[in-house]
Amino acid sequence: MPDDSRNRLAHALVRVLDTGALRKVLSDDRVMGVLVGLIGARGRIRKATRSRISTIARGLRLATEGDVRELRRAVDALGDAVAKIEASAKGDGDRAASGEKPTN
């Protein structure tokens, strides 16, 4: 969206929000309760959808997003451990070449 269009839209929204009628409607507790409920509904729907998808995926023996995330963490941790072992082995190899005894 070009900046000019974005600015016009922002100014139009400011003009609408500055109207007294809108303030009066928004000051009504019933209206605000409905708005808060709608905002919360989005999160509840998203959570229920993800939960349902996860249940179906497990029933089909498929990996879920959480499973993949967990596996990636495990692979990263194993990669770090391998790198540490390789660095340690390289250090021990350097000491052996120089005639030093490895330290345990």
Predicted TM-score (pTM) above 0.75: no
What's the pLDDT score for residue 104?
53
Nearest-angstrom CA–CA distance, 26 and 34: 10
35 with 70, same domain: the answer is no
Give tens-digit pLDDT for 22-37.
Answer: 778 888 899 889 988 9
Q: Are residues 52 and 74 in the same domain?
A: no
Q: Give how many domains the chain has, as a whole number.
A: 2
pLDDT digits (tens, 9 = 90+) for 44-103: 999 999 999 989 998 999 998 889 999 999 999 999 999 999 999 888 766 655 555 555
74 CB neighbour count, 10 Å cutoff: 10
Residue 5 lies in domain: 1-62
Q: Do 44 and 78 share a domain, yes or no?
A: no
Residues 39, 10 within the same domain = yes
Q: What is the DSSP letter of 100?
A: P
**Is the domain of 53 the same as that of 20?**
yes
Residues 54, 14 share a domain? yes
